Amino acid sequence: MIDRTAFLTAAAALLGDRGITTDPELVEPWLTDWRGRFTGRALALASPADTRQVAALVALCAAHGVPIVPQGGNSGMSGGATPDASGTAIILSLRRMTAIRAFDPAARQITCEAGLVLQTLHELVAEQGLRFPLTLGGKGSANVGGLIATNAGGTQVLRHGSMRAQVLGLEAVMADGSVFDALVPLKKDNRGFDLKQLLIGSEGTLGIITAATLRLMPAVAERRVVWVGLPSLGAARTLLLHCEAAAGAALEGFEVMPQVTLDDVLDHLPGARAPLDAPHPWHALIELVAESGRADQLGDLADTMLESAFEAGLLDDAVVAANETQAEAFWLLRDSIAPAERAKGPAVQHDISVPVAQMPAFVETAVPLIEAAWPGTQALAFGHLGDGNVHFHVIAPRGVEASAWQQGDGKAISAQVHDLVTQWHGSISAEHGIGQLKRDELGRLGDPVHLALMRAVKQALDPHGLLNPGKLVPLASPVVNP
C-alpha cells in the first residue's frame, strides 16, 4: 500500500512547488490521450526541472512503490502516455526540460533535453542552415523524448530512417533512479550491448529518456514535387524502384493513395483541384530534394527520371509542381487524407507494414477480403509505400451508430487485419507503437520467442514493474486449466 502523503511530501521537497501538483485542474488535461480513446487517473503530475530531479523522483517512486507514466507531448497514437484507472501512478511530464545542452553546427549535432518540441527543434537548427530530418503532423506538441521513446516515423523515413536513425546519443533514468549516460556521440563504439537501442522504442517501459544527441542534415535548398497517375499499386512499386535507381539520395518521399481517397480529399477540401486531368486507379506523390550547392541539377534529375519512366511505360501521367505554391498544394492533398476520411464517418484505422515488395499484393488481397466479409464497408490503403507502411482504413457502412460499430464490427475487422498482416510476416504497428491500444493484440499475435525475450528484458531492467505499467509488454499468457 502506497503511503500517499509521505510520498507527496517527499516529492514536493525534491521538486519544489512547480515540480509536482495534485490540483485536479492542472492534472486533468493530461489524463486523456489526444485521440480521446483512453482516460485514466493519477496520484499527481510531476514536472521535474532537470535530469537530477528525474533521477531523485524515480528513486523515490522505487522506494514507495509508486508507478510512473512518462509523458512527453501527449500526442501519441496508442495511449502510451495515459495512466490507467487505478490512480496509483504519477504522470512524469518532461515538459519543463527543454534545454539545449550543446549545439555544434559544423559537426551537425545537437544535444537537447527530452521536452524540446519538434517544431522548436526545426526552427532552431534552421537558423544555422540545417534541418532535423524527421517531421510529422503532431510536430507542434511532439517532443524529442516521446519521439525517441516511440521511435517515431513520418514522411521522411524513406530517405532518412525513423527516429532511431537520428539518435546519436542518449541519456535516460533507469528504474532504480540511476542515470544511463550515453550522450556523447561516438561513431564507433564496440564496448558491448548497445543499450541505447534498447531504450529507443521502449515507450517508457525500460527507462525514462531525459536527453539526446541528434544528428542534423544540411537544409534543403530546393525541391521538386511530382504527382503521378498509375494503373495499379504494383505499378507504383515498380516506379519506386525506378526512382530509387534514378534519383538515389535525392528521393525524399514517395506517398501513394487510390483514386477513391483522392476523391474524398477533393470533396473535403474547399477549392482543391486534382493535379491530373483524368482519374487513375492509383496516385503517387514524389518529392526530390537537393541540399544547397547541388540545387542546379535537381530539375534535370527530375526530368530525366520522369522521361525514362514514361519511356519504360512505368506511369500513365505525371505533372511536376510548377512552383512552391503548387508543391504545397500537392502535399496538402496528401496531408488532408486523415481529416477527409474522418469526415466520411466512423472507421477503424490500422498502421501496418509488410516487406515493401509485398505491399501491392497485400493490399490487393486485403481490400476485397475485408469488404466482402463486412458488406457496406470501404477499405482504403494509403501512405508510405517506400517504407512498406500503409495506413489501412476501413470505413463503416453508411448510417451505423459509430460507437456500437467500432466496438463490434470494428474490433472484429481490426483483428482480421492484424491476422492478415501477421500471416504476411508484417507488423501490426509500423510507426505508431503499441502503448495500451495494441498490447493485447501484440500478446495474441506476437512471436512467442519475441514475447518471452521482451518480458525477460523488462523483468531485468524494471523488476518491480513501475515504469509505464500496462503498456507495450504483453502480459504472460494466463494458465489455462484443461
Per CB under 8 A, contacts with its own copies among 135-174 are 150-151, 153, 157, 162, 164, 174
Closest separation in Å from C-beta 262 to its own copies: 24
Cell of 287: 518529392
Among 454, 467, 469, 470, binds its own copies (CB under 8 A): 454
Sites for its own copies among residues 359-418 (CB under 8 A):
384, 386-389
Q: Given the complex with its own copies, which of 95 and 439 has the nearer CB atom?
A: 439
Contact 120, 73 (CB under 8 A): no
Among 223, 224, 418, 432, binds its own copies (CB under 8 A): 432
Sites for its own copies among residues 270-289 (CB under 8 A):
none
Q: Does 313 bind its own copies (CB under 8 A)?
A: no
Q: Does 200 bind its own copies (CB under 8 A)?
A: yes
Q: Given the complex with its own copies, which of 19 and 388 has the nearer CB atom?
A: 388
Among 117, 134, 251, 354, binds its own copies (CB under 8 A): 354
Among 23, 29, 36, 191, binds its own copies (CB under 8 A): 191
Q: Does 343 bind its own copies (CB under 8 A)?
A: no
Among 322, 449, 479, 480, binds its own copies (CB under 8 A): 449
Closest separation in Å from C-beta 396 to its own copies: 26
Taking CB under 8 A as the rule, which mask of x and - marks residues 463-482 in contact with its own copies?
Answer: ---------xx---------
Lookup result for grid cell 509488454: 473
Closest separation in Å from C-beta 261 to its own copies: 20
Q: Does 36 bind its own copies (CB under 8 A)?
A: no
Closest separation in Å from C-beta 481 to its own copies: 25
Q: Does 300 bind its own copies (CB under 8 A)?
A: no
Among 12, 219, 221, 457, binds its own copies (CB under 8 A): 457
Q: Given the complex with its own copies, which of 201 and 470 has the nearer CB atom?
A: 201
3-state secondary structure the chain: CCCHHHHHHHHHHHHCHHHEECCHHHHHHHCECCCCCCECCCCEEECCCCHHHHHHHHHHHHHHCCCEEEECCCCCCCCCCCCCCCCCCEEEECCCCCCEEEEECCCCEEEEECCCEHHHHHHHHHCCCEECCCCCCCCCCCEHHHHHHCCCCCCCHHHHCCHHHHEEEEEEEECCCCEEEECCCCCCCCCCCCHHHHHCCCCCCCEEEEEEEEECEECEEEEEEEEEEECCHHHHHHHHHHHHHHHHHHEEEEEEEEHHHHHHHHHHCCCCCCCCCCCCCEEEEEEEEEECCCHHHHHHHHHHHHHHHHHCCCCCEEEECCCHHHHHHHHHHHHCHHHHHHHCCCEEEEEEECCHHHHHHHHHHHHHHHHHHCCCCEEEEEEEHHHCEEEEEEECCCCCCHHHHHHHHHHHHHHHHHHHHHHCCCECCCCCCCCCCCHHHHHHHCCHHHHHHHHHHHHHHCCCCCECCCCCCCCCCCCCCC
Among 195, 220, 260, 400, binds its own copies (CB under 8 A): 195
- Distance separating alpha carbons of residues 93 and 54, to the nearest angstrom: 10
Taking CB under 8 A as the rule, which mask of x and - marks residues 46-85 in contact with its own copies?
Answer: ----------------------------------------
Among 26, 343, 460, 475, binds its own copies (CB under 8 A): 460
Q: Given the complex with its own copies, which of 89 and 206 has the nearer CB atom?
A: 206
Closest separation in Å from C-beta 431 to its own copies: 5
Q: Does 450 bind its own copies (CB under 8 A)?
A: yes
Q: Does 107 bind its own copies (CB under 8 A)?
A: yes
Closest separation in Å from C-beta 9 to its own copies: 28
Q: Which amino acid is at 298?
A: L
